[in-house]
Amino acid sequence: MSYRSLRDCVRDLEKHGHLVRVKAEVDPDLEIAEIHRRVFEKGGPALYFERIKGSPFPGVSNLYGTFERTDFIFRKTLDRVQKVIELKADPTRFFRTPLRYSGAPFTALKALPLRSPFKAPVRYSQTRIDQLPQVKSWPMDGGAFVTLPQVLTLPPGSNNIMESNLGMYRIQLSGNEYLPNEEIGLHYQIHRGIGIHHTQYNQSEAPFRCSVFIGGPPAHSFAAIMPLPEGLSELTFAGMLAGRRFRYTRKNGFYISSDADFVITGIIKKQGKKPEGPFGDHLGYYSLKHDFPVMEVERVYHRK
């Protein structure tokens, strides 16, 4: 099915026995992460935390904890997307096996980003950074992190969302020298898409606007991490994988994912980094504290 939101996905997983609810209050400081790891190691279900200490918002984890569950989430679109990727990587495939790829161009065209004519669901209300679940995964982590954000930037002078970069770069919500509710840290390297944009903005007088999307249809998160063929936009890929076009709006010069659960908008400082980390990495060791770019927070939007 085509998920219009992360909530749709949660309901679908629960209906088919792939998700369980945790009704007891849980602490985002180490406890949620430990529960998640134990369930993941056993090949267990996705987890929906109804009550998170210190936050009015629920949370979900382990959505992609098994190949079976990931295949289930994308069961309606994976085959069509695979054909588009194959054709983009090698267009001559179309002439060798035209029947297999006859629908691929239409799949891509029908997945182009769509500007929403109405107020986006994610702009239901606003909150503060400290009201988000402050998840800390390991004892020596430098603060609370979001590890699956979708970070969108555009090059200077561009208002064409097809020229954007959507990447997954962890963000630090608290700790170290960040001003509470005013600054967050971004962890990225200069050779990444956002890093290239940063270099371009250093040579421009334009402010370096950045939008961070959290949640939304699962396809949006996957699009942010996929190594796509040259010329295939992450947003188009998100639309193909979701079976529904990527919806967006603009507010105060920022691009906003209409279907995200949270959107953080702000300006990345061109100069003046701050310490980010330590962070317990998935490779099994702590990434040590180093200076990384800082984003000055403008707004934090959330769904109902």
Residues 15 and 127 in one domain: no
| Residues 159 and 43 occupy one common structural domain | no
> In this structure, what token pair is assigned to residue 102?
């006859």
Q: Which one-letter DSSP state was computed for residue 243?
A: T
pLDDT at residue 87, rounded to an integer: 66
Range of the domain at 270: 113-304
Tokens of residue 275, six digits: 């310490």
CA neighbor of 55 nearest in space, from 166, 185, 177, 214: 214
Token pair recorded at residue 36: 């998640």
pLDDT of residue 88: 64
Q: Buried b vs exposed e over 133-150: b needs ≥16 C-beta within 10 Å?
A: bbbbbeeebbbbbbeebb
Same domain, yes or no: 65 and 182: no
Q: Residue 133 above 70 pLDDT?
A: yes
- Can you tell me the mean pLDDT for 66-81? 88
Confidence label for 16 from pLDDT (cuts 50, 70 and 90): very high
> What's the whole-number mean pLDDT along residues 70-81?
86
Annotated active-site residue 281? The verdict is yes
Looking at 110, 132, 166, the residue that finishes a domain is 110
What are the start-end ranges of the E strands in 163-293?
Answer: 165-167, 171-172, 183-186, 208-214, 247-251, 254-257, 262-268, 274-276, 279-280, 286-287, 290-292
Domain match, 64 and 81 both: no
User: Are 145 and 276 part of one and the same domain?
Assistant: yes
- How many domains are contained in the chain? 3
9 and 138 co-located in one domain: no
Q: How would residue 248 be classed by pLDDT, with cut points 50, 70 and 90?
A: very high
Q: Are residues 224 and 117 in the same domain?
A: yes
Instruction: Kindly report, residue by residue over 148-160, the tens digit of the pLDDT.
Output: 999 999 999 999 9
Residues 33 and 61 in one domain: yes
pLDDT of 9 > 80? The answer is yes
| pTM of the entire predicted model | 0.92
Over the range 60-86, which residues count as b (16 or more CB within 10 Å of their CB) and which as e? bbbbbbbeebeeebbeebeebbebbbb
* pLDDT at residue 102, rounded to an integer: 63
Whether residue 130 sits in one domain with residue 66: no
283/158 same-domain check: yes
Query: What is the tens place of the pLDDT at every residue in 219-232?
Result: 999 999 988 877 78
Q: Among residues 12, 27, 29, 281, which one is catalytic?
A: 281
Mean pLDDT (the chain) is 92
- Among 62, 87, 110, the domain-final residue is 110
| Vertex 237 angle, CA 36 and 246, to 5° | 85
The count of C-alpha atoms lying within 13 angstroms of the C-alpha of 281, restricted to the half-sphere facing its C-beta, is 11
Amino acid of residue 283: L
Q: What's the CATH code of the domain at 301?
A: 2.30.110.10
Same structural domain, 144 and 196: yes
Domain match, 243 and 166 both? yes
For position 189, what pLDDT does the model report? 86
Contact 243, 2 (CB under 8 A): yes
pLDDT digits (tens, 9 = 90+) for 172-221: 999 999 999 999 999 998 888 999 999 999 999 999 999 999 999 999 99
